[in-house]
Amino acid sequence: MMRLAAVLLFSLAALTPVSARAADALPTEKDSVAASRAVKLSEKLRCLVCQNQSISESNAELALDLRRQIGEQIAAGRSDDEILGYMVARYGDFVLYQPPVKGTTLLLWGGPGLLLVGGLTALAVILRRRRKVAPEPPLAAAERERARQMLEDDTPEGKQ
């Protein structure tokens, strides 16, 4: 009976997916310095699947893989700059929440300002056009009387 239990336990351990045991590569609570470094680094990197979350917030497979890579690189003794450089070399500047200002990211940094200036310019043009349109002059007394008579008559003017 003991042998059967041991065989079952061994079989169960052998069938456990590798991804369930891959968490061993991440920093643990015992190494608080490495864990805090991993958290700080993962907050600086964007999830390429979710795009509006950092990899520390995301549960996407790619985010889990990137967190695992960060843990492995910390364990290998790499500095924060080396790890970020590796991620940028592999995934591009888009992986960073704050990409550097350079030619390829100029629109990314200047885009919101350009949109704001464009919107304010359009608003100013619309307001100026409204001011230039002169209001219609008020009706003269004779025109007002004629309009009142037309509204009171059952038959429209001009019909016979």
Tokens of 100: 């550097």
Half-sphere exposure for 46 (CA within 13 Å, toward CB): 15
CA distance to 142, 146, 149, 159, per residue, from 155 (Å): 20, 14, 11, 7
With a cut of 70, say whether residue 10 has pLDDT above it.
no
CATH of domain 16-100: 1.10.8.640
pLDDT by residue (tens digit) across 24-54? 444 455 678 888 888 898 888 988 888 788 8
CA distance to 43, 55, 82, 115, per residue, from 40 (Å): 5, 11, 14, 32
Q: Calculate mean pLDDT across residues 94-104.
A: 82
Indicate the domain borders of the chain: 16-100, 104-152
CA 105 to chain centre: 16
pTM of the model: 0.51
pLDDT for position 94: 83
